[in-house]
């Protein structure tokens, strides 16, 4: 890191104690928490007839099982 020379007004050395900001790398947990707080949850696309197809599939399996 290079040393920044302060601006000297004669009475005050402006910037003599300046330290550049340190970068903070976020962990995976911190990223997940931030993402859950900022972004709304993603809703899965569910078709209205998905349940009907599931019920028809179960009924078809039961009919096949009972006819054998």
Is pTM beyond 0.75 here?
no
pLDDT given for residue 49 in this prediction? 76
d(CA 31, CA 11): 46
The gap between the terminal CA atoms of the chain, to the nearest Å, is 80
pLDDT given for residue 45 in this prediction? 65
Name the percent of the chain in helix, strand, coil, to the closest 5: 45, 5, 50
pLDDT tens for the 68 residues of the chain, in order = 566 667 778 888 888 788 888 888 989 999 988 888 888 777 666 667 778 888 899 999 999 999 98
């Amino acid at each position: 890191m290079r040393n920044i020379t302060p601006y000297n007004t004669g009475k005050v050395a402006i910037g003599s104690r300046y330290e550049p900001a340190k970068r903070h790398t976020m962990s995976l947990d911190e990223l997940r928490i931030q993402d859950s707080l900022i972004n709304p949850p993603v809703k899965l696309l569910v078709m209205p007839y998905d349940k009907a197809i599931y019920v028809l599939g179960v009924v078809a399996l039961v009919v096949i099982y009972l006819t054998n």
